[in-house]
Chains A and B, each alone.
Chain A
Amino acid sequence: MEVYLDNSATTKITDGVRDIMLKVMSEDYGNPSSLHVMGVNAERHMTESAQKIADCLKVNPKEIVFTSGGTEANNLALIGAVMAYHRVGRHIITTRIEHPSVYQPLLYLEENDYKVDFIPVDSAGKIIKDKLYESIKEDTLLVSIMYVNNEIGSVQDIEEIAREIKSVKNDIILHVDAVQAFGKYRIYPKRIGIDLLSISGHKIHGPKGIGALYVSDSIRLKPILFGGGQQRGLRSGTENVPAIAGLGQAAQELYENFDQKINKMYSLKQHFIREISRLDDVRINGLPVECTSDRIKGEYLPEQIMKTAPHIISVSFRGVRSEVLLHALEERGIYVSTGSACSSRHPKPSATLEAIGIPMDMINSTIRFSMSDTTTKEEMDYTVEQIRDILPHLRRFTRR
């Protein structure tokens, strides 16, 4: 049996996405900037895609900028906003559990004399809101907060946070990295008060190498790429039309039968956590209550689980090195991540797991299971079964 539980790393494209991309690549391959009909046809794919994404977010399609992915969307949002509004102030606020594509650009800005506050999170991975509000200053220019954490699936109360920070200082620009949240939540930036919102194609069954940034028409950005002036000068470079078409298609498909898909993932998540917590010495990370197996053995935690993202489950297995467990699962056809895939090739511990206070030995024993809406109960049961089978063996052979 093959079980792909690494959907937070990347996802498989849908048939619909494949079909439209194939069509664009082989038939409508014109340059959207060309004046002839081939250009017009290519451009139509872009407008349609922007419309589909705008529909999901209930925004104007003119507010969508296509980028090469989540990383570029985050970079454009942060650097672009700071370059445009540097006269407003030099203070930026973010959290300690951001993705490197937010964290690193902010470190870069810090090197260039911007002041960045990194707000801590509690043991469930939720930002400590009082600290956030207290840290807002006269010259605070930008707040950047991820919607769903990619490693533990914790969800921030974006609506409340947006309301509060804007009531303290209404010209603060709010950026939300929604790469893991888009398609899992109905996100309406205008209603919430989000000014910039990043999404990525390959996390939502679209292609790799494409993402988008929602830029509210009430703010302006400076570009970070310069050239032919495509996309209203905000993102030069010939547009990746096949991927753009694929992204729009993926976004549209996401919100079909939305509630049904999300409910199914939640019920699988609950089932999986209940089963996995029957095993000895495991700990479920990122839940609002302490979830070690000796405390919650097989307990049903629907309310707590509903407060986290439907697709991500982070579990630490005491006494087992996560990389070994990963490879042992791989031998049985199950694909997962240690911590977060983006940082799995570096031997440094995960900043998120550290920030929520997981002890070092447990950080190195942490596996992330991430589902998609096509994940089945059989697959989750098979996974639990295999872990139950492997764990005693792995725990017997450890470094002494």
Chain B
Amino acid sequence: MFKAFLIKYAEIGLKGKNRYLFENALCDRIAEVLKPLGLYNVYKEQGRVFVECPDNFDYEETVEAMQRVFGISSICPVVVIDDTDWEILTKGVGDYVDAMYPDKNITFKVMAKRADKNYPLTSPDICKEMGDYLLRRFPELKVDVREPEVRINVEVRKKSYVYSIVIPGPGGMPVGTNGKAMLLLSGGIDSPVAGYMISKRGVAMAAVYFHAPPYTSERAKQKVVDLAKKISGYTGKMRLYVVNFTDIQLEIYEKCPHDELTIIMRRYMMRIAERFAEKENCLGLVTGESIGQVASQTMHSLASTNEVCSMPVYRPLVAFDKKDIVDVAIKIDTYDTSIQPYEDCCTIFVAKHPVTKPNLKKIRNSELRLGEYINELVDTAIKTVEIIEIE
């Protein structure tokens, strides 16, 4: 029975003069996710976004697609009544209730809004009159103004709109309204979640992945591409930089104390990620680090990896427990991909007992042992990067 959706957005409503930017971004993003599904018409009108569906659209598929659009607080399948004439409106709302709740065994309340202030009835009048009409037509209905089972929303604009189903959206803000960031993406559980969370605040994403052939396999890389695709389901198109990290890693392995390998390696990852971030006009880096999760993520270790870049590093999972991260990973459907058993470059040479409280001065000294040659290797890694466009 539904042919349209009314889309509600939360925080965008709070924005001042630039509100239209947010609304436009939201409309664009909705249009983008619906485009592969058919000819939808997405437009905004007086603080609402409407989605008109093609004739033979798939309801579930449409809702699912929009549930991945940040900025949407709720999705309401709506019935449009082409007129605002009271007779027609009441009949239309009555028919809606009849079709939606054939048993009529519900408590309800009518909620009304009128955008047209010249409409002969005020909002409270509409609620009251409509309630009376419905009770007359369906005597089995019961009114409950405090905790109704069903809220029948009636909005009177150029046309009239009726809805009673409210499907939660993901919240957040439309992607692209808040700049762009570079995600350090591994094959693990955490980094895709971190990317998702930052992106939810309206940030567009690019990503960098470090692979180490022959120590990591083509399948490990494919796994990261798959993860990037999952994230791009929320963020839209994303550019993935695949850096060959083997030589840098082996050089560190040979020259530096083994227990500092991971820390120094991560410092180089941050440096390289920042270089690509600059190129992409990103305003920050994003990692999936969480305090104390592993040796390289203690407060000491984070301080040590943090100091090598000047861009802000966003760590949305910093205070999350693993279980909470897993919950989000399952929700956004990256978990099953993340747990495929392919080794990534962080684990291949990891020491049995890596330092957990790296001393900054000591780390800097160890890095000096690498000499000029490491910079050549970094330049080569940057020059030979493989770029994959994720859509």
Q: Please give the residue numbers on chain A whose beta carbons come within 8 Å of chain B beta carbons, in ascending order.
A: 323-331, 345-347, 397-400
Contacts and interface: CB of A to CB of B under 8 A. Distances in A.
B217 A323 contact: yes
Nearest to A327: B214
B350 A399 contact: yes
Given A397-B349, A399-B349, A400-B352, A331 B258 contact: no
A400 B351 contact: yes
Interface in B241-265: 250, 253-254, 258
11 contacts: A323-B343, A324-B348, A325-B214, A327-B215, A327-B216, A327-B218, A331-B213, A397-B349, A398-B349, A399-B351, A399-B352
Given A347-B341, A400-B258, A331 B350 contact: no
A328 B341 contact: no
Contacts of B352: 399-400
Interface string B328-346: 0000000000000101000
Contacts of A398: 349
A331 B351 contact: no
Nearest to A323: B217
A399 B348 contact: yes
A346 B341 CA distance: 8
Contacts of B216: 327
Contacts, number: 36
Given A323-B217, A397-B349, 5 more contacts: A324-B215, A330-B218, A331-B214, A397-B253, A397-B254
Nearest to A328: B214
A398 to B, nearest CB: 8
Decide if the interface of chain A is mainly helix, strand, loop or mixed: helix
Contacts of B348: 324, 399
B206 to A, nearest CB: 27
A327 B217 contact: yes
Contacts of A346: 341
Interface residues of B, number: 17
B261 to A, nearest CB: 9
Given A347-B341, A397-B253, A327 B349 contact: no
Given A397-B349, A399-B348, A327 B258 contact: no
A348 to B, nearest CB: 10
B214 A330 contact: yes
Contacts of B341: 345-347
A260 B215 CA distance: 40
Contacts of A331: 213-214
A291 B244 CA distance: 38
A214 to B, nearest CB: 37
Contacts of A330: 214, 218
The winner among A323, A330, A345, A346 for most chain B CB atoms within 10 A is A323
Nearest to B217: A327
A330 B216 CA distance: 12
Contacts of B258: 400
A346 B342 CA distance: 10
B364 to A, nearest CB: 23
Contacts of B254: 397
The 10 closest A-B pairs by CB, nearest first: A327-B214, A328-B214, A347-B341, A400-B258, A324-B215, A324-B214, A327-B217, A397-B250, A397-B253, A327-B213
A397 B248 CA distance: 13
Contacts of B351: 399-400
B193 to A, nearest CB: 24
Nearest to A400: B258
B15 to A, nearest CB: 49
Contacts of A347: 341
Contacts of B214: 324-331
A33 B216 CA distance: 50
Interface string B170-185: 0000000000000000
Nearest to B253: A397
A327 B215 CA distance: 7
Nearest to B261: A400
A326 B215 CA distance: 9
Contacts of A400: 258, 349, 351-352
Contacts of A399: 348-352
A260 B30 CA distance: 67
A194 B206 CA distance: 61
Interface in B119-177: none
Nearest to B213: A327
Nearest to A329: B214
Contacts of A323: 217, 343
A346 B350 CA distance: 21
A330 B213 CA distance: 10
A331 B217 CA distance: 11
Interface in B202-221: 213-218
A347 B350 CA distance: 18
Interface string B94-130: 0000000000000000000000000000000000000
Nearest to B352: A400
A326 B219 CA distance: 13
A287 B263 CA distance: 45
A329 B214 CA distance: 8
A330 B217 CA distance: 10
A331 B258 CA distance: 27
Nearest to B258: A400
Contacts of B253: 397
Contacts of B215: 324, 327
Contacts of B218: 327, 330
B220 to A, nearest CB: 10
A400 B253 CA distance: 10
Contacts of A327: 213-218
A155 to B, nearest CB: 32
Contacts of A328: 214
A329 B217 CA distance: 12
A347 B352 CA distance: 20
Contacts of B250: 397
A6 to B, nearest CB: 15
The residue among B214, B343, B350, B352 with the most chain A CB atoms within 10 A of its own CB is: B214
A327 B212 CA distance: 10
A336 to B, nearest CB: 12
B352 to A, nearest CB: 7
